[in-house]
């Protein structure tokens, strides 16, 4: 792919910062848009054209499109927490659906063809009775977060079919990596390094599984989509499931911190039981995950211990 002009909405977040970092390093010209007051330093400078702080929907996005003239808009803004979506479903709807709809409408009025790449979620599949889960599996979300991602996908289909927009949807499975400050890996690390905890309590039975994919591989998957110029829906995962019990054991070994784990046998609302992505469709575009789970967890632990000041 020749040098492209890329806008990343949600650039100040966990995945957004990794995506900016990837495309800057690949020599593309990147404009970053996000709620954070500044870009994470890890995103680098290089060809980063500018960082615009805004909370979508914001009419200033239209002027950015006109001034920057992007070839691609990567949308990774919005919400990222299943538990919070249960606590405040309307807020989740506003920050997810309304901001996505606004961006699509703003892009529709933009005269130049622009590839719209949307980061969706495997939460749409809910408790699938199919493993591995391919893109044709039934959509059956079990959380407000999942339902709102589904609505976003329907909106994207509307704009693609009725207005001819070039759109691609990436259903991300369990993304993790440096700068992630939520979800099971961060929670486990917090508890492993807490000197006051001798026993770690976790939800479920330990046999629940997730398909973990490192953030740098998510960025590579997006790169494959953009290079291929494809549209449609693609799963983004490692193609392998790992039980939470096994995850805990790996983190204990890598951190050299052995603690007793107790699983409380309770399944949280919105948590699927077993998850594994079928990434055959994405592999046909040349995608292969490059970061193993052990390598990714080692990177995460290095970042976590540095961030928290642990030796």
pLDDT at residue number 283? 98
Mind giving me the DSSP string for the chain? ----EEEEETTTSHHHHHHHHHHHHTT-EEEEEESSSS--GGG-STTEEEEEE--SS-THHHHHHHHH--SEEEE--S---HHHHHH-HHHHHIIIIIHHHHHHHHHHT-SS--EEEEEEEGGGG-S-SSSSB-TTSPP---SHHHHHHHHHHHHHHHHHHHH---EEEEEE-EEE-TT--SHHHHHHHHHHT-TT-SEEEESS-S--EE-EEEHHHHHHHHHHHHHHT--EEEEES-S--EEHHHHHHHHHHHHT---EEEE--PPPTT--S---B--HHHHTTT----S-HHHHHHHHHHHHHHHHT--
pLDDT at residue number 49? 75
* 274 in Cβ contact with 131 (< 8 Å): yes
Instruction: At 213, list the tokens.
Output: 């994919």
Instruction: Kindly report, residue by residue over 78-109, the tens digit of the pLDDT.
Output: 898 999 999 999 999 999 999 999 999 999 99
pLDDT at residue number 306? 93
Query: Backbone dihedral region of 72: left (phi > 0), alpha (psi from -120 to 50 degrees) or beta?
Result: beta
Cα distances (angstroms) measured from residue 28 to each of 8, 9, 111, 166:
12, 16, 22, 20
Instruction: Kindly report, residue by residue over 20-32, the tens digit of the pLDDT.
Output: 999 999 999 999 9
Instruction: At 33, list the tokens.
Output: 């848009």
pLDDT at residue number 133? 97
Cβ neighbors of 11 (< 8 A, separation 6 or more) are 17, 19, 20, 32, 33, 34, 39, 43, 51, 76
Q: How do the pLDDT tens digits run along the chain, 311 residues long? A: 688 999 999 998 999 999 999 999 999 999 999 987 766 554 555 567 788 899 999 999 999 999 999 999 999 998 989 999 999 999 999 999 999 999 999 999 997 889 999 999 999 999 999 999 999 999 999 999 999 999 999 999 999 999 999 999 999 999 999 999 989 999 999 999 998 888 999 999 999 999 999 999 999 999 999 999 999 999 999 999 999 999 999 999 999 998 889 999 988 888 899 999 999 999 999 999 999 999 999 999 999 999 988 86
pLDDT at residue number 6? 96
Cβ neighbors of 108 (< 8 A, separation 6 or more) are 159, 163, 165
pLDDT at residue number 47? 61
Question: Tokens 């009419």 belong to which residue?
Answer: 59
Report how far residue 121's alpha carbon sits from residue 147's, in angstroms, rounded to the nearest whole number: 10
pTM over 0.85: yes
CATH architecture assignment, domain 5-177+212-237+279-287 = 3-Layer(aba) Sandwich (3.40)
Question: Tokens 């629940």 belong to which residue?
Answer: 208
Domain ranges of the chain: 5-177+212-237+279-287
């Amino acid at each position: 792919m020749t040098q492209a002009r890329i806008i990343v909405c949600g650039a100040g977040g966990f995945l957004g910062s990794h995506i900016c970092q990837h495309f800057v390093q690949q020599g593309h010209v990147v404009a970053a848009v996000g709620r954070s007051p500044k870009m994470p330093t890890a995103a680098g400078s290089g060809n980063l054209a500018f960082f615009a702080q805004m909370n979508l929907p914001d009419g200033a996005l239209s002027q950015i499109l006109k001034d920057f003239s992007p070839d691609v808009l990567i949308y990774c803004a919005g919400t990222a927490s299943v538990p919070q979506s249960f606590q405040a479903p309307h807020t989740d709807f506003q920050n997810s659906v309304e901001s996505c709809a606004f961006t699509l409408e703003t892009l529709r009025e933009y005269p130049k063809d622009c590839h719209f790449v949307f980061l969706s979620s495997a939460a749409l599949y809910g408790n699938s009775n199919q493993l591995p889960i391919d893109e044709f599996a039934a959509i059956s979300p079990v959380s407000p977060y999942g339902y709102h991602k589904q609505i976003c996908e329907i909106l994207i289909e509307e704009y693609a079919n009725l207005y001819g927009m070039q759109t691609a949807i990436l259903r991300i499975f369990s993304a993790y990596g440096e700068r992630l400050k939520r979800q099971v890996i961060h929670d486990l690390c917090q508890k492993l390094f807490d000197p006051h905890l001798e026993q770690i309590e976790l939800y479920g039975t330990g046999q629940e599984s997730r398909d973990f994919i490192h953030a740098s591989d998510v960025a590579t998957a997006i790169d494959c989509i953009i290079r291929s110029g494809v549209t449609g829906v693609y799963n983004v995962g490692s193609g392998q499931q790992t039980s939470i019990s096994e995850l805990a054991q790996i983190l204990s070994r890598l951190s050299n911190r052995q603690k007793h784990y107790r699983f409380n046998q309770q399944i949280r609302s919105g948590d699927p039981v077993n998850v594994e992505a079928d990434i055959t469709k994405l592999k046909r575009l040349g995608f292969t995950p490059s970061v193993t789970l052990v390598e990714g967890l080692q990177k995460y632990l290095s970042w976590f211990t540095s961030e928290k000041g642990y030796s």
